Amino acid sequence: MEHAQHIIDATQDIFSSMIMLEVTAGEPFVRNNDKLINSISGIIGLAGPTKGMLAIHMANAAALAVTSAFLGMEVEEIDDDVRDAIGELANMLAGNMKSVLDPGGSDIKLSMPSAVYGEDYSVDCLAGAQSVTVPFTFDGLGFLVELQLRTDG
């Protein structure tokens, strides 16, 4: 699955250097548009000749643990701090993937990070996009990093 190793390398690097958490990658797969339950997703859109999105999907417990580690303080509910932290993680991952996909730095444009959360929701992207999702675990918790791409032309 194309780009899976780039996702693994970027995620492990960002988590170990920025959040001081070691994460373990699982087997990459293609995620159906299955519903996400009691979760939060940080999403970055990609535009230009290569279109798509990078998303990080975390169950609430994982998002609280990651945000607490990121901020160095206990976070107990999904609030603006959590939404900002998960959006910023997506932003860092997308920036890393952009450097792989667009070494010159001028073809792919990244959107502002957004966060979607709730008890039961779906995240869809472009029809016909190639997709890869990598599961990660840390401290008994898990999350997904998903990349969907479609190149026009």
CA–chain centroid gap for 17, Å, is 16
pTM value is: 0.94
pLDDT band at 61 (very low <50, low <70, confident <90, very high): very high
DSSP string, 75-127: --S--HHHHHHHHHHHHHHHHHHHHHH-TTSSS-EEPPPEEEEEEEE-----T
pLDDT above 90 coverage of the chain, percent: 78
Question: What is the residue extent of each domain of the chain?
Answer: 4-151
Over residues 123-138, the mean pLDDT reads: 88
State the DSSP H helix or E strand holding residue 36, giving kind and residue range, or none if neither: strand 36-47
Per-residue pLDDT of 86-113, as tens digits, reads 999 999 999 999 998 888 877 899 999 9
Give the CATH number of domain 4-151; options: 3.40.1550.10, 1.10.10.10, 3.30.450.40, 3.60.15.10.
Answer: 3.40.1550.10
1, pLDDT greater than 70 = no
Is residue 148 over pLDDT 60? yes
